[in-house]
Structure 1
């Protein structure tokens, strides 16, 4: 094997590694940082919260150290004193180093307290290479031992190629995230894929000459040699440093612990969904490996594989069961940690993917006392005809059954998928784009560039097809989709646990749901088939045109997954997002300063008056338990300060009123239980700042925070809420 010809050694931090490393020693008086700190949550075990902090430095640094300090209790618990928690010094592990950078990870373990607690960390002597930035202590918050986590969910955190970034005020919604975090801290943020957009690699990066090749055969046969690999490696690294170091996203990275899965834009647009013979070409294999390397490092704080594919390194051209073999040339000036144990949160696939020839990494972890999380890696194994291997689903459900059998206190499973699964069908559009009717236009495009924007630069097919092929509702994925939903229904019924699905990718907000056919007469609180799909996308990328959102809303039919299961979108958007519930009474106008009195911003109408199901505006979601220590009782329930009046005359409905009959079959786009009643801006959950108590002790509140105007650089939002009941055990 290739490793026999590569020196194996131990670095100064004690990590076993492979490769010689850059053989340099920094003489800087401080710890030179390129980007970071990035904070991750990993898992909880034995009364401890486990996480990690990553920094990326110049090469040659020695023994970075982090100081972790208890910073007090949160909110009403601030008077509680803890005398036995002192500062701790934590050393770093080197994950990877080459002649330009080093990746260092600090593993954190923090004891849960009987109250919500703050923790401060600071990296000794750290200075930024970018002198405009200043290193400062960071603070994060963990829930009490009896509390579930307050969750932020986001996706599509970047811009598509050609977007006027300035016109969309950059990543403005992260300002709103930080404002919400200051008012009521998030314990974790779930990244649903496309945390970064790497598509520019083919427009202004090293793949530009390859993309310009007109002959598909020549493009498929183009080699991915070490020179191109090194150029792509540099491009992906620089893009991560630029994006992850950009405020306000960088501010959130250091204080809200992340858990991420990836999607196509973390690699390149449409990766995995082009035709098989094209996806197997050398260039796609190569960029898949490079993107995977930096995905593991930046998003998972995990050591990368020993090398990536190149056509001029024979050891790497055929992946084995364990992935790509080591390439001595790549390791001449690089160090890679080799004794990096898999975190117990990972559910590792049994065999490498077809194009990213590494093992998939799905995630299981517990989000506090009663919520479990599973994120399915739906990109590593993806082809045009499959999303995940059957054996991958098996090991995921084996893990879920084991965890829920061992912990009967778990009441919810939050399942993260890269794309929505309860979403309008677009089969008719697939048929049009795949039909012979498109052939003459394709010919004119190939010969004369006609309708250039309609076809992609990779395989010459209609550009929308790779996006449509990504969807679970695409015709080739319908069987896999149905089987996954049936497995979730079985799991939900077996463990009496409510399943809530999160999905992004589609660049608009919506709420889909599966539920039992109303003819069965099963109330949602007892319905194991009731599974909402919170669709939150994008937090940064621009939304689709209003006409697309309106078309999708028109396609919001009541579909039948099977004879017992129906699905449709909830009509949650009672009005367009605005300040104080109105936009000068007109379709276009100005909002008089968002919540903090900022300058007036232009607000344009988002949707047609008939569309209450899809929202083409940037957004993110908040999920938390609908009952906590601050939730008012039935007798004391009152309006939340700053909230709009609710459908219950300003009062939070008593938790006892949790049962409600299902809506008639013809009306299931409307509320089908008390938590959906009044869904929208008037719902008690709309603010995202206070538990409603609407769905009882173990229900969930969900808030979609939707951007009011893209010209508002402070990113102010309007809230839309609904609640999810826990699943009552049926005797």
Structure 2
């Protein structure tokens, strides 16, 4: 089904990198065919857009420019002035969101309901501006996009045995145009468009940006021509619409210039954000491949003073999901949920990798005795966890999910809470606790939510905005 498009779209800001006292920024635009967005102006300088990608129904443009980070700044576009709060030198505020959609019927939802939490985040920005907006995965729900083409309509359950080359070319075109339509709809949503023009985004992908369970599905689904075509198109869409980039010109913050994995890191004054890629190299046995592990281990060896936020698209700390996984695999009608549990660090298939990552985080914190916090989405609940790292250090895990995805039944939150009561210690010398959020009784909160990360006088705090319960009290990190 061809959808009506709201064009033009933009500017939507993305942070390319931080360098000395400047931020390298990209502004993304989408116009109709044959149209070109106006240039961006900063003071006496003018920056013209460059074409990034072309589709049947529109063209994507990118304008790269620089803004100072030692003070508040602004830029002008098409006669309008946009204030940007990129002063990272002292007190600052970051936003964190995830799961911006749903698997089925997302675009048919009433926009006032779908984007209610985005409206609240805009209100928070008006009260005290956000410097950056972190997106922890599932910015796009692509699960329905394979429907309607003969090769992919039954994927991943029914796959053609030997599709012809011309049919695969047609499939690529079909999927590419559908990704374009869905991304345009998301970027054009009024609250996101307003916020995106004023707050640079940093995005990390997860499975729904490709399809539900990508990498945890069986190899026969993902390594066949249809699956690989889907991944290739989804990856291009992720780079274009979530990074304002292409393979040939990845922003400097990316850790692998060849793009084998799409992990990145940003260093600011007293602030480091590390976002490993948990999807590009994922298989049923591996969360990351050799390139991804080499990158995160190299980053862990770097000297740093301040606070590190580790973006793990699936929660790094959690309950004993391996017990639930074992139960589901043994019940035939529950086996369809196997990939959901296999996606997690706590899966039986990934236990060695989980321990490896936890040791890296521990050693990273001990190296300079600095604070480190893991932030995650994915589970459509709000939650937190704490791991004792020894030497008086702790790893906080903050989970905020989702900004648009409606919560699961409260019974699921109670199940996870019961599993948390059993405890989980993958590193026996470093126990994990799952306490409730400030002001909450249950360990897992079944409400839509987002997270605010605030630095005041060099001290960090976190607060969740819960759809029904409201803003939590601050949690010291």
Q: TM-score, normalised by structure 1?
A: 0.61
Which residue does 1:501 correspond to in 2?
374
Which residue does 1:348 correspond to in 2?
256
Which structure is higher in helix share?
2
SS in 2 for 1:227: helix
Which residue does 1:42 correspond to in 2?
16
Asked if 2 retains the 8 angstrom alpha-carbon contact of 1:347 and 1:362, the reply is yes
Asked if 2 retains the 8 angstrom alpha-carbon contact of 1:33 and 1:57, the reply is yes
Q: Give the C-alpha shift of residue 118 in structure 1.
A: 3.4
Alignment of 1:286-365 (within 5 A): 286-304=229-247, 340-348=248-256, 359-365=260-266
User: How many residues are matched?
Assistant: 468
Which residue does 2:284 correspond to in 1?
384
Alignment of 1:177-188 (within 5 A): 177-188=121-132
Which consecutive aligned stretches of 4+ in structure 1 deviate over 6 angstroms post-superposition? Answer: none
Q: Provide Cα deviations, 1:239-291, integer angstroms capped at 9, x if missing partner.
A: 11111111212222111110001011111111111011221111110111111
Alignment of 1:42-61 (within 5 A): 42-61=16-35
CA RMSD of aligned residues (A): 2.4
Inter-partner Cα distance in structure 2 for 1:471 and 1:527? 28
1:91 aligns with 2:48: yes
Inter-partner Cα distance in structure 1 for 2:327 and 2:301? 42
Which residue does 2:3 correspond to in 1?
none
SS in 1 for 2:261: strand
Which residue does 1:101 correspond to in 2?
58
Which residue does 1:194 correspond to in 2?
138
The structure-2 alpha-carbon separation of the partners of 1:220 and 1:433, relative to structure 1 and needing over 3 Å to count, comes to farther
Q: Give the C-alpha shift of residue 207 in structure 1.
A: 6.4
Which residue does 2:185 correspond to in 1?
242
Asked if 1 retains the 8 angstrom alpha-carbon contact of 2:438 and 2:474, the reply is no
The structure-2 alpha-carbon separation of the partners of 1:550 and 1:540, relative to structure 1 and needing over 3 Å to count, comes to same
Which residue does 1:415 correspond to in 2?
310
The structure-2 alpha-carbon separation of the partners of 1:386 and 1:173, relative to structure 1 and needing over 3 Å to count, comes to same
1:719 aligns with 2:472: yes
Q: Give the C-alpha shift of residue 226 in structure 1.
A: 1.4
SS in 1 for 2:173: helix
Q: In the alignment, which of 42, 55, 74 is matched to residue 119 of structure 1?
A: 74
Gaps of 5+ in 2: 1-5
Alignment of 1:154-303 (within 5 A): 154-162=97-105, 165-166=109-110, 169-203=113-147, 205-206=148-149, 210-211=153-154, 216=158, 218-219=159-160, 221-222=162-163, 225-303=168-246
Inter-partner Cα distance in structure 1 for 2:237 and 2:160? 25
Alignment of 1:14-33 (within 5 A): 33=7
* Structure with larger RCO (C-alpha < 8 A, sep 6+): 2
Inter-partner Cα distance in structure 2 for 1:162 and 1:91? 38
Which residue does 1:622 correspond to in 2?
452
Which residue does 1:371 correspond to in 2?
271
Asked if 2 retains the 8 angstrom alpha-carbon contact of 1:573 and 1:614, the reply is no
Gaps of 5+ in 1: 1-31, 69-85, 125-135, 305-339, 351-357, 442-453, 455-461, 517-521, 576-610, 629-697, 710-716, 725-731
Inter-partner Cα distance in structure 1 for 2:92 and 2:327? 45
Asked if 2 retains the 8 angstrom alpha-carbon contact of 1:171 and 1:248, the reply is yes
Which residue does 1:65 correspond to in 2?
39
Q: In the alignment, which of 370, 373, 384 is matched to residue 511 of structure 1?
A: 384
Alignment of 1:554-573 (within 5 A): 554-556=418-420, 557-572=422-437
Inter-partner Cα distance in structure 2 for 1:96 and 1:279? 26
The structure-2 alpha-carbon separation of the partners of 1:156 and 1:88, relative to structure 1 and needing over 3 Å to count, comes to same
Asked if 2 retains the 8 angstrom alpha-carbon contact of 1:59 and 1:101, the reply is yes
Q: Give the C-alpha shift of residue 149 in structure 1.
A: 3.9
Inter-partner Cα distance in structure 2 for 1:207 and 1:253? 36
Q: Provide Cα deviations, 1:601-639, integer angstroms capped at 9, x if missing partner.
A: xxxxxxxxxx521001000001122x33xxxxxxxxxxx
Q: In the alignment, which of 395, 400, 406 is matched to residue 536 of structure 1?
A: 400
Larger radius of gyration: 1
Asked if 1 retains the 8 angstrom alpha-carbon contact of 2:50 and 2:61, the reply is yes
Q: Give the C-alpha shift of residue 91 in structure 1.
A: 1.7
Q: Provide Cα deviations, 1:13-60, integer angstroms capped at 9, x if missing partner.
A: xxxxxxxxxxxxxxxxxxx95322110112211211221101112333
Tell me whether 471-480 or 483-492 shows the greater mean CA deviation: 483-492
SS in 2 for 1:36: strand
1:393 aligns with 2:293: yes
Asked if 2 retains the 8 angstrom alpha-carbon contact of 1:418 and 1:504, the reply is yes
Q: Provide Cα deviations, 1:411-457, integer angstroms capped at 9, x if missing partner.
A: 1110001100111112222122222x42xx5xxxxxxxxxxxx6xxx
The structure-2 alpha-carbon separation of the partners of 1:209 and 1:425, relative to structure 1 and needing over 3 Å to count, comes to same
Inter-partner Cα distance in structure 2 for 1:400 and 1:502? 17
